[in-house]
Amino acid sequence: MKTEIIPLDTRQVAELARHDVEMALAEDVGHGDLTANLIDRAKTARARIIAREDAVVCGLPWVKAALTALDPKVHLTMHLEEGQRCSANQTVLEMEGSARALLTAERTALNFLQMLSAVATKTAQYVAAVQGTGTQIVDTRKTLPGLRLAQKYAVRIGGGANHRIGLFDAILIKENHIAAAGGVAQVLAKAKGHSAGAAFIQIEVETLDQLREALEHDATMVLLDNMNLPTLRAAVELNRTVGTPRKIGPAILEISGGVTLEGLRELAETGVDRISIGTLTKDVRATDYSMRFDAL
C-alpha cells in the first residue's frame, strides 16, 4: 500500500480503511469467531452504534470496512457524516445484516471509531484554542505503530495539519544531527545537497544564537524546541529582522516540546506559524461508543 500522501478523498480513505481492517480482523478473528458461531448462520439482526459522549465523529470508513468485510450485503444507514459532532446518546449509524457478521465485526469497528474519534476530538479542542491567531496545529510521528496514516487522517478531520509522514518524505535536523555534522551551517549545507524528493528541510534549534545562525544560512523552516515565552517572542522578532531581508523571506517557525492545552493560546500569541503536538495521537482517551443489537 502506498504511503506517500495522507489520504483524504473517498477512494483513498476507503483503501486505507480496508488495509487497516484486514490486519485488525486477522488479529481478532484468527481461524474463526467461536462465540458468534453459536448463532444460526441464517439469522439476521439490526444494530445501532450510539455515542456515549460529545465528540467529533471520525472512523466511519473503518466501521464500514469492518462490516462489509464480513457481510458484503450489510445495509448501513448513516445518521452522521465523518467530521460532524455527535452528542451523548445520539445514534451515529444503524445496520442490518448477518447476525454473525455484525457480532464478529463489532469490536474491530468500535476500536477504530473510538480511537480515531478521540484523535479528531482532541485535535479540534487544540485548534479551537488558537482560533484567530493564525497559528496552525500540527501532528508528529508519535503515533500508534501501524496506524500512522489513520491517525494523521483523524488529525485532519479534527482541523489540524500533518507534519511529515515518516523519515522518508522530509528532512528534520535535530540536536544530534547538528552535533554529528559539526554545526548548524555544516548540516544545513549537507541537507540542501541531499534534499531531492524531500517535502521540506526543517532544523531544530534550542537557542537564539542557533536560530540566527540557521537564518543566516537560509533555513526555511525552524523548530523552536522547549523555549519559554520571552525567548519565543524574541525568536519571532529575530526571524522578522534577520529573515525578512532574505530573498526567501522569513522562515516558518514551529514550536515543539512541553505543549499543553492550558498554555496553548499564549504560545500561539507569540506569533509562531505552527505548533506541533505529539499528544494529539500519542495520549488519547478512546471516545465512548457502544453497539446495541435488536434481533429480527
In a domain, 222, yes or no: yes
> Given this model, what pLDDT does residue 156 score?
95
pLDDT confidence band for 84 (50 / 70 / 90)? very high
Give the total number of structural domains in the chain: 2
> In which domain, by residue range, is 37 found?
10-128+285-295
Lowest mean pLDDT segment, chosen from 8-12, 49-53, 83-87, 240-244: 8-12
Residue by residue, DSSP assigns the chain as ---SS---SHHHHHHHHHHHHHHHHHHHHTT--TTGGGS-TT-EEEEEEEESS-EE---HHHHHHHHHHH-TT-EEEESS-TT-EE-TT-EEEEEEEEHHHHHHHHHHHHHHHHHHHHHHHHHHHHHHHTTTS-PEEE--S---TT-HHHHHHHHHHTT-B---SSTTS-EEE-HHHHHHHTSHHHHHHHHHHT-TT-S-EEEEESSHHHHHHHHHTT-SEEEEES--HHHHHHHHHHIIIIITTSTT-SPEEEEESS--TTTHHHHHTTT-SEEE-THHHHS-PPP-EEEEEEE-
In a domain, 217, yes or no: yes
> Given this model, what pLDDT does residue 139 score?
96
In a domain, 3, yes or no: no
**Whether residue 116 sits in one domain with residue 191:** no
Contact 79, 120 (CB under 8 A): no
> Given this model, what pLDDT does residue 10 score?
86
Statement: residue 219 has pLDDT above 50: yes
In a domain, 1, yes or no: no
In a domain, 154, yes or no: yes
> Given this model, what pLDDT does residue 228 score?
94
In a domain, 48, yes or no: yes
Statement: residue 94 has pLDDT above 80: yes
**Whether residue 137 sits in one domain with residue 88:** no
Backbone conformation region of residue 233, classed left if phi is above 0, alpha if psi is from -120 to 50, else beta: alpha
> Given this model, what pLDDT does residue 1 score?
34
In a domain, 171, yes or no: yes
CA–CA distance, 14 with 52 (Å, rounded to integer): 26
Active site residues: 107, 142, 174, 204, 225
Q: What angle do CA 172, 256, 198 make, to 5 degrees?
A: 20
**Whether residue 42 sits in one domain with residue 80:** yes
- The pLDDT tens digits of the residues spanning 111-138 come to 999 999 999 999 999 999 999 999 999 9
Q: Which CATH number characterizes residue 146's domain?
A: 3.20.20.70
**Whether residue 268 sits in one domain with residue 138:** yes
**Whether residue 230 sits in one domain with residue 107:** no
**Whether residue 249 sits in one domain with residue 146:** yes
- The pLDDT tens digits of the residues spanning 262-276 come to 999 999 999 999 999
Specify burial of residue 284 (Cβ count, 10 A radius: 0-12, 13-18, 19+): buried
In a domain, 35, yes or no: yes
CA–CA distance, 82 with 78 (Å, rounded to integer): 10
Mean pLDDT score across all residues of the chain: 94
pTM over 0.95: no
**Whether residue 211 sits in one domain with residue 88:** no
Report the pLDDT averaged over residues 173-183. Answer: 92
CA distances (Å), origin 49, targets 72, 81, 157, 204: 19, 13, 20, 44
**Whether residue 139 sits in one domain with residue 227:** yes
Q: Which CATH number characterizes residue 83's domain?
A: 3.90.1170.20
Q: Which amino acid is at 120?
A: A
Q: What is the distance of C-alpha 133 from the center of its chain? A: 21
**Whether residue 269 sits in one domain with residue 147:** yes
**Whether residue 54 sits in one domain with residue 158:** no
**Whether residue 275 sits in one domain with residue 135:** yes
Q: Report residue 195 as a C-alpha cell.
A: 534534499
> Given this model, what pLDDT does residue 286 score?
97
> Given this model, what pLDDT does residue 195 score?
83
- The pLDDT tens digits of the residues spanning 16-59 come to 999 999 999 999 999 999 999 999 999 999 999 999 999 999 99
Report the pLDDT averaged over residues 83-106. Answer: 97
**Whether residue 137 sits in one domain with residue 258:** yes
CA distances (Å), origin 287, targets 30, 86, 110: 26, 11, 10
> Given this model, what pLDDT does residue 163 score?
92
The rounded percent of the chain whose pLDDT value lies above 90 is 90
